[in-house]
Structure 1
């Protein structure tokens, strides 16, 4: 299996992950289509992957360019689950997405909030909501060794890539 970006799966036999401790003042929730936090959660995940700018400015851009409306439509029609971690001031700190086919993607935490378990908790929230809606199998590609360790703690296991020995 590719060790730099392993494909990982989680199936119905794996019990839900246990909750971790959140930093003081931080809450995690599934974000609905009409949640005012949706634009900032989408912005945080983009910033975590290298997009420049502030959460506020990028959230405004994503709203103006229709991205927020598109994702809200997917949420409203049951094609996507989004979760966010929010500070006591309501600022989004981390976010995660899961699509209807069980693909977990775009898990990201603001650099200043990394290391506090927020990526774990938003991913756990997305998985829990998707399971509640009937999804039983999940898949993802871990972007780096740290994310592979996080996903393993949630119960994901690495799978050999096509053509590799099992």
Structure 2
């Protein structure tokens, strides 16, 4: 399973970025609007990752003006954490969860909203992306709506939202797929709409959409153990630990 996920992790960023080779690490640099990418262990690399390689990548990220960020799976590349921390970056742990078909569970959908797929020309597209950004305390990037619409049109992502009666999306999330593997990403709810089960309902609808599109493996990374317990209500189980390291923005240091 972890080998399958590593192939996915290497494939998906390449649809919206260029890959720069740093030996044991690969830096993905986004081309166009959208969330910035990160560096990951190079697919197939099995040895140690020296501190010097991490420092070279961080230097290149500073040169490009992109976040100094790394993402990897602890169990797949166990030595990378020490190398990253040696350069001063904090590392955060996130439960890596997989949903097996036999474990899937359905929950009642919340009232007062419509949970639906958002297509490129849907008026709710902008508010759906804004809901995701608001959930993580980030502004909606210029060009993000057009870029997401293009990715949906190209079949690279699917977006599901919980839409209020006035047509505004209160929560949203997306699917990213590579072959039979699909990741549920960016589940977010506007702060004023939390505690209504909207995020879990969006996740359940994304799972249904993924299965309808032929997904064999569905996975996600939970924020923490408490959020992982929510996803477990849908049948997701933790199989590993996703690690994320990112330097604070200069104004936050």
Please report the TM-score for the alignment, with normalisation by the length of structure 1: 0.81
State the alpha-carbon separation in 2 of the partners of residues 26 and 38 from structure 1.
15
Q: Distance in 1 between matches of 2:234 and 2:151?
A: 25
Q: Does 1:45 align with 2:125?
A: no
Pair 1:22 & 2:110 matched: yes
Look up the match of 2:94: 5
Aligned residues: 150
Per chain length, whose mean CA-contact separation is higher, i.e. which structure has more relative contact order (CA < 8 Å, sep 6+)? 1
Q: Deviations over 1:93-123 (max 9, x none)?
A: 1001110131111001111111111001111
8 A contact 2:93–2:241 mirrored in 1: no
Deviation of 1:89 (Å): 1.3
1:10-159 correspondence to structure 2 within 5 Å: 10-15=99-104, 17-23=105-111, 25-51=112-138, 58=140, 62=141, 65-101=142-178, 102-159=182-239
Paired with 1:145 and 1:108, the residues of 2 have a C-alpha distance of 17
Q: Is the CA contact 1:4–1:145 (under 8 Å) kept in the aligned structure 2?
A: no
Cα offset, 1:4, TM superposition: 4.8
TM-score for the superposition, normalised by structure 2: 0.55
Of Structure 1 and Structure 2, the greater strand share is in 2
The 1:143–1:123 alpha-carbon spacing in structure 2 relative to 1, beyond 3 Å, is same
Counterpart contact for 2:124–2:169, Cα < 8 Å: yes
Deviations 1:65-113 (A, max 9, x none): 2211111111112211110001111121100111013111100111111
Compare CA radii of gyration and give the structure with the larger one.
Answer: 2
Report the RMSD for the aligned CA atoms in angstroms.
Answer: 2.2
Q: Secondary structure, in 3 states, of the residue corresponding to 2:133? A: helix
Structure 2: gaps spanning 5 or more residues: 1-73, 76-91, 243-253
TM-fit CA distance, 1:161: 4.2
